[in-house]
């Protein structure tokens, strides 16, 4: 009864290298379908799951790892006499390492609304193995991301329970995110429990105040400021992002050409006009003092005329659907201004599952506007 590692991955980047490393460390490699074929074709000695379990894949591959020899081998508690006795009775060997990544539901959801294709890209066996291994992290190492192969190889001889616990929590986060994508894509509004997919984009320089830290997340299935393109200026701060969100929410509400000016999350001017320059001048006239150092939003394209007027005053950020090339040249001459191009979207009246209000340790979900391209 040797050491065993189960490798079953959709994203096969570096899988051969990692499997070869584990094999050199004395692990028998168990694998499935196309992963197993890739490893075998590259000289890895592979035992296919259907050979191991003596049970063929069923239903077009929907059932292959859902078997007691797989999940029993992952889940049974080492050192527990009853578990050890059951494992011996049913000839279940321990599986010590589980390397799994999931069917590409997110990529599919971004590409299509075809229900049948989406359903076929919902992984079942993968999340089950990740969760089994994560639950038994005291004995099992679970690796859920390709980018973690290197760290595992570098630290392999010093991996302890705390390391396995950290990787277990990564796996639980991965399956929670995966399930939330499914809920979001199919808009299961009848569910009382919310599943909201939030992908980490970046760590911000600091939070609301310099002594605080902050991170930026996005819902990959919704369009918002996380999809904006920064054309000029230094990195956005936490407070910049909050203000840009207020600006974005306002400018998409107007069918006519509009300009809004926001400072500290509060509008200090908003107007419609016959063109972008007219709208800007009217918005500025509402409160030109408070507008100093604020953020401008334009639901159109910034032209040369408007760029010249904006460059005559100090603003932190200009947000617009587009910028003319000559206008960009003018505005980029100002070192400290940030220029943000946002996607042109329009509001659609319907309840949003992801427009939430943050409370201390809680969330409120108002029925507000969501957006469509």
- In this prediction, residue 373 carries a pLDDT of 40
CATH architecture, domain defined by 224-348: 3-Layer(aba) Sandwich (3.40)
DSSP string, 178-223: HHHHHHHHHT-TT-SS-----EEEEE-S-SSSTTS--EEEE-TTS-
Supply the mean pLDDT for the chain: 90
Q: Which residues contact 155 (CB under 8 A, 6 or more apart)?
A: 163
DSSP string, 212-252: S--EEEE-TTS-SGGG-EEEESSPPPHHHHHHHHHHHHHHT
- State pLDDT tens for residues 41-89: 999 999 999 999 988 888 887 888 899 999 999 999 999 999 999 999 9
- Exposure b/e, 309-334, CB count within 10 A at least 16 = b: ebbeeebbbbbbbebeeebbebbbeb
- State pLDDT tens for residues 121-131: 999 999 999 99
- In this prediction, residue 348 carries a pLDDT of 58
Q: At 345, is the pLDDT very low, low, confident or very high (cuts 50, 70, 90)?
A: confident
The answer to whether 305 and 323 are in contact (CB under 8 A) is no
- 185-189, 214-218, 326-330: the lowest-pLDDT one: 185-189
Query: Is 308 marked active-site?
Result: no
As a whole number of angstroms, the distance between CA 79 and CA 87 comes to 11
- State pLDDT tens for residues 249-265: 999 999 999 999 999 99
As a whole number of angstroms, the distance between CA 240 and CA 119 comes to 39
Of 83, 135, 232, 332, catalytic = 135
The mean pLDDT value for 222-241 works out to 90
Q: Which two tokens stand for residue 347?
A: 């509001």
Query: Residue 327's closest CA among 297, 302, 310, 296?
Result: 302
- State pLDDT tens for residues 302-314: 999 999 999 999 9
Q: What pTM did the predictor assign?
A: 0.78
In percent, the amount of the chain with pLDDT more than 70 equals: 92
Query: Is 135 marked active-site?
Result: yes
The listed CATH number (3.40.50.1380, 3.40.50.300, 3.40.630.30, 3.40.50.720) that belongs to domain 3-186: 3.40.50.1380
Domain boundaries defined on the chain: 3-186, 224-348
Q: Which two tokens stand for residue 298?
A: 């334009």
- In this prediction, residue 351 carries a pLDDT of 39
In this predicted model, which residue has the larger pLDDT, 2 or 351? 2
In this predicted model, which residue has the larger pLDDT, 189 or 119? 119
- Residue 268 DSSP SS3: strand
Examine the pLDDT at 120 and tell me if it is beyond 90.
yes
Alpha helices in the chain (DSSP H): 15-24, 33-41, 49-53, 68-75, 81-89, 105-111, 115-120, 125-135, 149-155, 161-186, 238-251, 276-286, 304-311, 325-332
State the number of CA atoms in the 13 A half-sphere of 325 facing the CB: 0
- State pLDDT tens for residues 124-174: 999 999 999 999 999 999 999 999 999 999 999 999 999 999 999 999 999
Of 25, 165, 264, 308, catalytic = 264
The mean pLDDT value for 192-200 works out to 78
């Amino acid at each position: 009864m040797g050491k065993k590692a189960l490798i079953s991955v959709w994203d096969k980047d570096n899988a051969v290298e990692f499997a070869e490393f584990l094999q050199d460390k004395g692990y028998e490699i168990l694998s499935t379908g196309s992963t197993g074929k890739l490893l075998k074709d590259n000289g890895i000695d592979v035992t296919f799951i259907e050979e191991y379990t003596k049970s063929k894949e069923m239903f077009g591959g929907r059932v292959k790892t859902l078997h007691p020899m797989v999940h029993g081998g992952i889940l049974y508690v080492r050192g527990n006499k009853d578990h050890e006795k059951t494992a011996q009775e049913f000839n279940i060997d321990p599986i010590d390492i589980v390397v799994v990544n999931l069917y590409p539901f997110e990529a599919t959801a971004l590409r299509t609304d075809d229900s049948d294709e989406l359903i076929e890209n919902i992984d079942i066996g993968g999340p089950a193995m990740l969760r089994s291994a994560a639950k038994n992290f005291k004995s099992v190492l679970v690796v859920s991301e390709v980018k973690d192969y290197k760290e595992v190889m570098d630290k392999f001889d010093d991996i302890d329970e705390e390391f396995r616990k950290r990787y277990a929590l990564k796996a639980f986060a991965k399956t929670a995110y995966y399930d939330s994508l499914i809920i979001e894509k199919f808009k299961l509004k009848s569910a009382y429990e919310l599943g909201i997919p939030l992908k980490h984009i970046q760590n911000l320089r600091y939070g609301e105040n310099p002594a605080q830290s902050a991170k930026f997340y996005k819902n990959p299935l919704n369009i918002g400021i996380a999809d904006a393109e920064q054309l000029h200026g230094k990195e956005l701060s936490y407070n910049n992002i909050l203000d840009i969100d207020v600006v974005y929410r306002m400018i998409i509400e107007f069918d006519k050409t509009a300009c809004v000016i926001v400072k500290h999350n509060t509008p200090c001017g908003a107007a419609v006009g016959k063109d972008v320059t007219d709208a800007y001048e009217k918005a500025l006239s509402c409160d030109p003092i408070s507008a100093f150092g604020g953020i401008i939003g334009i639901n159109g394209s910034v032209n040369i005329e408007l760029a010249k007027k904006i460059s005559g005053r100090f603003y932190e950020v200009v947000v617009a659907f587009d910028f003319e090339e000559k206008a960009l040249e003018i505005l980029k001459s100002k070192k400290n201004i940030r220029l943000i191009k946002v996607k042109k979207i329009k509001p659609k009246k319907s309840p949003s599952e992801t427009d939430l209000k943050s409370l201390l340790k809680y969330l409120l979900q108002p029925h507000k506007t969501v957006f469509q391209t």
